[in-house]
Amino acid sequence: MTRGHDAMSRLPVIEPMPAELLREPLNWIFAEHHRQRQLCDALQTLSRVPAFHPPLIVTVLDYLETDLKMHHIDEEEDLFPLLRRRCLPEDEIEQVLGALTADHVREEENAAAISEGLQEALNASAPPAGDISFGRVLRAYAHDLRQHLAIENAVVLPIARIRLSEVDLEGLSQRMAARRGLKLSASQRPVPESSPS
């Protein structure tokens, strides 16, 4: 078996998220960070594997255009504002959150460029790795995203687990679920908003 075929047999996957995890919003965000590391694996694979693999490209495109944007909204509109209200001055969280917000802006811009390049590769039935400069872009994005995730996992989530109250977490759950068209009830798994209660 050639190295190319071996790499193709071990393609990365981005695992689905169990909707019931929305009841534990900080665990959901942590799990989403794991999926983003899987995204990084996929981008690095696409930057190097010399074979055309449409399902992986489609998976990455879908994640960049839906899940990643949703995750950024979860943090920018809900988690970060909560932390700004609940953290103490000695937590020194503002500078960290400001840097992460700037990262999100760059990630969105770079993700748009990557999506465009992947769509072009898909339309041309060509492997993204065939474009050496684009391959560098994919690897650079994966590298930067991994660094961003390391800060969120090592700094932001531990502080959130200390500072956020049960009421804060319940509200965070509800907003994140609603953003995904789901509603949380006291005794059931999240269900679509249109489903009968």
Domain boundaries, the chain: 23-192
pLDDT single digits (tens) 12-27: 899 999 999 999 999 9
| Count of all residues that appear for the chain in the document | 197
Helix residue spans in 63-156 (DSSP H): 68-73, 80-86, 93-123, 132-151
Tens digits of per-residue pLDDT, 101-137? 999 999 999 999 999 999 999 999 999 999 999 999 9
Average confidence score pLDDT of the chain: 91
Answer for the pair 93, 20: CB distance below 8 angstroms, yes or no.
no
pLDDT(189) > 60: no
Q: Which two tokens stand for residue 37?
A: 């590391």
Greater pLDDT, 188 or 177: 177
Contact assessment for residue 121 and residue 54, using Cβ atoms and an 8 Å cutoff:
no
How confident is the model at residue 11, as a pLDDT? Answer: 80
Q: Are strands 191-192 and 182-183 parallel, antiparallel or unpaired?
A: antiparallel
Cα of first residue to Cα of last residue in the chain, in angstroms, is 54
Quote the pTM value: 0.88
Instruction: Look at residue 187 and tell me whether its pLDDT is greater than 70.
Output: no
Fold annotation for 23-192: Four Helix Bundle (Hemerythrin (Met), subunit A) (1.20.120)
Q: Quick one: CA dihedral 39, 41, 47, 52, positive or negative?
A: negative
DSSP letter (8 states) at residue 129? G
87 HSE (CA, 13 A, CB side): 22
Burial of 124 from C-beta contacts in 10 A (0-12 / 13-18 / 19+): exposed
Which of 24, 72, 29 has its CA nearest to residue 173? Answer: 24
**Structure tokens, 169:** 């977490």
What pLDDT is stored for residue 1 in this prediction?
A: 36
